[in-house]
């Protein structure tokens, strides 16, 4: 957000003053209530927010040429932003005067809607992109830059990698191989042993986000022979995304963020095979909730508290959590995944000179 503000002011607004710079959630709230406000989680994605101060950081505002008066005020996600105005009622079809919550972004509403309100579990959201993060009571900062640290609805800090093309990559491969549906897609992969018989996939179809952020990186299949078929490609892609998740698990563990299970969310959580792969390659049990698309539930939790129907986020979140299945790791396959994961990292290091290009120094992201 900060970089966009600086660009807009430099190239499009030299002779004009902004009324307000919004994120989509705060813009919608403003249209509904007339109030410009967003939560600490969204504010912490702006590059203008201080985790320590829980407010705008003056030095960052100055560096990007932004002013606090041009930004929404900051409040808790479950606070009441205001009430539905006459205009908001006309836009939404709902009665004027209804309370409207401040709300939060989907990165945070999704784990919240699955009941994640305390440290201990990794949230892995398998949508078009794969977003992986965990809660901590302290604001752990990753000096290596793999992870971002944000405020979180209900308190604490959400430490995450914002994700690589994951479910979107599977959809691309399914279309490429002309597999009619994901049930058959999973079935083909299930016929192949863990490790995909030497086939590796590096999940960087739109740039690498793990084990390092490299925007110029691109995806790669490696290890193909005439003996390999569609099932090997599918299995390798499922495993490659899981290995990127394992990179995030490793960094969170180095930062001493507590992890004892993986909470699998999003459309990709419907694949039991993918849940099995993630359990086996990390050694952590994978929990699959009854409701996998939980972002609307996170929004509803914020609304219930803002409207006075529930006392607080933790209490309300306890009402929605329902784990349908837990997939325990199989120690018998761990060695195969450890070997494949090591080969995956060797592949990444071998590809880095191609990613970096002629104008980049080795190791630059």
Total Cβ atoms within 10 A of residue 290: 12
Q: If one looks up domain 2-103 in CATH, what number appears?
A: 3.30.420.40
Query: In Å, what is the CA distance from 214 to each residue of 139, 143, 219, 351, 360?
Result: 25, 16, 12, 11, 11
151-172 pLDDT tens trace: 999 889 999 999 999 999 999 9
Residues of each domain in the chain carrying CATH 3.30.420.40: 2-103, 107-293+317-356
Q: Mean pLDDT for the chain?
A: 95
Is the backbone peptide bond immediately before 211 cis, with ω within 30 degrees of 0?
Answer: yes
Output the pLDDT for position 117: 96
Output the pLDDT for position 200: 98
Helix (H) or strand (E) holding 325: strand 323-327
List, as one string, the DSSP characters of 43-100: HTTTT-EETTTTEE-HHHHHHHT--GGGS-EEE-TTSEEEE--HHHHHHH-SPTT-EE
User: Per-residue confidence at 359, pLDDT binned at 50, 70, 90?
Assistant: very low
Output the pLDDT for position 362: 43
User: Per-residue confidence at 14, pLDDT binned at 50, 70, 90?
Assistant: confident
> Which residues 6+ apart lie within 8 Å of 300 measured at CB?
113
Kindly tell me the sign of the dihedral angle through the C-alpha atoms of 192, 273, 170, 346. Answer: negative
Question: Taking Cα atoms as reference points, which of 85, 77, 74 lies closest to residue 36?
Answer: 74
Output the pLDDT for position 18: 73
Could you tell me what percent of the chain has a pLDDT over 90? 93
Q: What is the pTM of this model?
A: 0.93
If you average pLDDT over residues 322-333, what whole number do you get? 94
Task: Tell me if 240 sits within 8 A of 201, measured CB to CB.
Answer: yes
Output the pLDDT for position 185: 97
Polymer length in residues for the chain: 365
Question: Taking Cα atoms as reference points, which of 161, 321, 181 lies closest to residue 245?
Answer: 161
Task: Tell me if 34 sits within 8 A of 54, measured CB to CB.
Answer: no
Output the pLDDT for position 17: 78
pLDDT beyond 50 at 174 = yes
What is the rounded CA–CA span in Å between residue 223 and residue 239?
14
Which residues are registered as beta bridge partners of 120? 259
Left, alpha or beta for 282 (phi > 0: left; psi -120 to 50: alpha)? Answer: alpha
> Which residues 6+ apart lie within 8 Å of 175 measured at CB?
none
Can you list the pairs that 42-50 forms with residues at least 24 positions away whose Cβ atoms lie under 8 Å? 42/104, 42/105, 42/108, 43/72, 43/74, 43/151, 44/149, 44/150, 44/151, 45/1, 45/105, 45/107, 45/148, 45/150, 46/1, 46/2, 46/71, 47/1, 47/2, 47/3, 48/1, 48/2, 49/74, 49/151
Output the pLDDT for position 357: 61
Return the CATH class of domain 107-293+317-356.
alpha beta
33-55 pLDDT tens trace: 999 999 999 999 999 999 999 99
If you average pLDDT over residues 262-283, what whole number do you get? 97
182-215 pLDDT tens trace: 999 999 999 999 999 999 999 999 999 999 999 9
């Amino acid at each position: 957000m900060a970089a966009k503000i600086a660009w807009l002011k430099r190239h499009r607004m030299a002779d004009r003053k902004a009324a307000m710079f919004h994120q989509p959630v705060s813009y919608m709230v403003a249209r509904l209530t007339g109030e410009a406000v967003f939560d600490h989680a969204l504010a912490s994605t702006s590059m203008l927010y201080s985790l320590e101060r829980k407010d705008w950081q003056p030095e960052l505002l100055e560096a990007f040429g932004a002013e606090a008066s041009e930004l929404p005020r900051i409040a808790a996600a479950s606070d009441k932003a205001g009430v539905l105005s006459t205009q908001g009622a006309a836009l939404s079809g709902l009665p004027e005067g209804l309370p409207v919550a401040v709300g939060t972004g989907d990165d945070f509403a999704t784990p919240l809607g699955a009941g994640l309100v305390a440290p201990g579990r990794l949230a892995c959201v398998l949508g078009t992109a794969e977003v992986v993060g965990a809660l901590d009571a302290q604001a752990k900062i990753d000096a290596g830059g793999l992870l971002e640290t944000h405020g979180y609805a209900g308190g604490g800090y959400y430490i995450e990698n914002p994700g690589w093309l994951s479910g979107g990559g599977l959809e691309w491969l399914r279309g490429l191989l002309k597999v009619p549906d994901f049930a058959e897609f999973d079935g083909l992969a299930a016929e192949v042993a863990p490790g995909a018989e030497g086939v590796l996939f590096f999940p960087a179809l739109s740039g690498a986000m793990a084990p390092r952020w490299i925007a110029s990186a691109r995806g790669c299949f490696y290890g193909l022979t005439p003996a390999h078929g569609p099932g090997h490609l599918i299995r390798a892609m499922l495993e490659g995304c899981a290995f990127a998740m394992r990179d995030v698990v490793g960094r969170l563990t180095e930062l001493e963020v507590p992890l004892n299970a993986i909470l699998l969310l999003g459309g990709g959580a419907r694949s039991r095979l993918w849940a099995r792969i993630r359990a086996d390659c990390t050694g952590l049990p994978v929990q699959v909730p009854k409701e996998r698309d939980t972002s609307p539930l996170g929004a509803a939790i914020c609304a219930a508290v803002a409207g006075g129907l529930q006392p607080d986020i933790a209490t309300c979140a306890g009402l929605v959590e329902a784990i349908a299945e837990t997939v325990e790791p199989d120690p018998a396959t761990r060695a195969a995944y450890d070997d494949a994961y090591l080969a995956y990292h060797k592949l990444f290091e071998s590809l880095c000179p191609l990613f970096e290009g002629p104008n980049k120094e080795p190791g630059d992201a």
